[in-house]
Amino acid sequence: MAGESWKSQTWWNLPVYTGDVSGVCSALYELGGMVVMHDPSGCNSTYNTHDEIRWVSMESLIFLSGLTQLDAITGNDQRLIDDIVSAANTFHPAFIAIANSPVPWLIGTDFEAICKKVTALTGIASFHVETNAMHDYTKGAGQAFLHLAKMLLSEDAGAAGDSGTLRGLPGTDRIIAADTNPDGRRIRLNILGMTPLDYPVREDAMAMRRILEEEGFEVVSNWAIGDGLQSLKRSAGADVNLVVSSTGMETARWMEETFGIPYTVGVPTGSFRRILCEAVKKSALTRKSSVPYLEILNSLPSREKRKNPDTPVRCIAGEPVTMGSAAADIVLTDGKPCDLIALTETRQGLLPEHGFTPEGERQIREVLAEYEEVTADPMLKEACRSGCRFHALPHFALSGRLYLDQIGSLLEKGGSL
């Protein structure tokens, strides 16, 4: 009924995912820039006490503008500009990123003009990441990575031809040589889409690099845990991108269009590790992007067509890249079908033919109630049917610190997000 459409957008018991503004802060946290949240006072505390686990051990220039009602009504953008310039002159950040809450978005604040003025006054590259606190972290972090890539790699973009293929940039020769040269030069890759919201275990960044090096790759950069801007600036010289969460998809697509660098999507977890790594090599050599976990999940019969109705129907729910890779591992290890349910917003091209994308709490409850066995964040357990066999896989972007001591590495056997 049209009059009840609001129910599909209402949350009354289940938590929502981390917001887009926090996604921006998380993506840019370690890179030496300054992030400004244009918002009323209080939201910085929300970010650093709920959505950021690095705060106690690693400093970052994240500021709140303290937007007042009078500033919003009168359109007083000069105070924001003055405060940003003052902070920039004090701390000398590598770049300046501005994100915003609903109020500046609703009143139509001209952030592009503000960024141009800030850049002119400071000489520091500045950009706006469009947020409004009405989307989840995958949107904010994805846009932050994309804007950062365009800022860092713009000179290399000018070296690419109209066709979008590389012209004389490092990496071109390696792609040809990787399959033919007896010296066994390694395929160079970037890791895209790594933040603590999906990978809260700090050792995951080191484990990811170690696994990929063991498989014969040379890791150029990690966007963005453990690497600085200098490493990220070399990204255009890679042969292939490995997208380890949906937050890296927009940057991967832009780099493919701009530099001709293909991408492979997935996490090297469990039994899926070898298949993923082979797919990465294939993408580098053929110049074609791929999502290998989809090939596995698409080969399964749909829920309606499964022959044995007595076999428990299983699903895994959450962020599509990490959970899709985990689903592929389950299928390969147990030999049992596993449906993928995407609960975050960025999912285009990341779902199997029989995947589900419920919107709002009511639809999530309806979908999860269909399954006898569910793998998901513990906060979703009460949305499942009575007697459901539930496997807890905590996700920091959903349940925050509640299950932080239970979160292990998805890259190691028995781990979790």
**How many helices and strands in the chain, by DSSP H and E?**
17, 12
pLDDT, averaged in runs of 10, over the chain (417 residues): 63 90 95 90 70 88 80 79 95 95 81 95 95 92 97 71 32 36 72 96 90 95 94 95 98 97 96 96 96 93 65 88 95 90 94 88 93 94 93 94 86 52
The whole-number pLDDT of residue 147 equals: 97
Residues 83 and 38 in one domain: yes
My answer on whether 55 and 85 are in the same domain is yes
Please say which residue of 112, 140, 168 terminates a domain. 140
Helix (H, G, I), strand (E, B) or coil at 339: strand
Q: What's the confidence (pLDDT) of residue 210?
A: 93
Count of alpha carbons within 13 Å of 300, Cβ hemisphere only?
26
Asked, for residue 99, whether it belongs to a domain, the answer is yes
The answer to whether residue 5 sits within a structural domain is no
| Amino acid 101: pLDDT | 83
Write the CATH number for 381.
Answer: 3.40.50
- Residue 369 covered by a domain: yes
pLDDT at 306: 64
- 108 within domain boundaries: yes
Domain-ending residue, one of 84, 108, 140: 140
**For residue 284, how many other CB atoms are within 10 A of its CB?**
25
Structural domain boundaries enclosing 223 = 151-294
Q: Are residues 276 and 394 in the same domain?
A: no
Query: Which phi and psi angles does 223 have, rounded to 5°?
Result: -95, 95
Could you write out the DSSP letters of every residue in 265-305? E----TTHHHHHHHHHHHHHHH---B-HHHHHHHTSPPGGG
pLDDT reported for residue 93:
96
Q: The CATH number of the domain where 101 resides is what?
A: 3.40.50.1980
Residues in the chain: 417
Residue type, 154: S
Domain presence at residue 34: yes
Report how far residue 344's alpha carbon sits from residue 275's, in angstroms, rounded to the nearest whole number.
25
Phi, psi at 103, each rounded to 5°: -65, -55
Predicted local confidence at residue 184, as pLDDT: 62
Q: Kindly state whether residues 129 and 240 are assigned to the same domain.
A: no
- Residue 397 placed within a domain: yes
pLDDT value, residue 94:
96
How many structural domains does the chain have?
Answer: 3
Which pLDDT does position 179 carry in this prediction?
39
Give me the long-range contacts of 72-77 (CB less than 8 A, separation at least 24): 72/103, 72/104, 72/107, 75/107, 75/109, 77/109, 77/110, 77/114
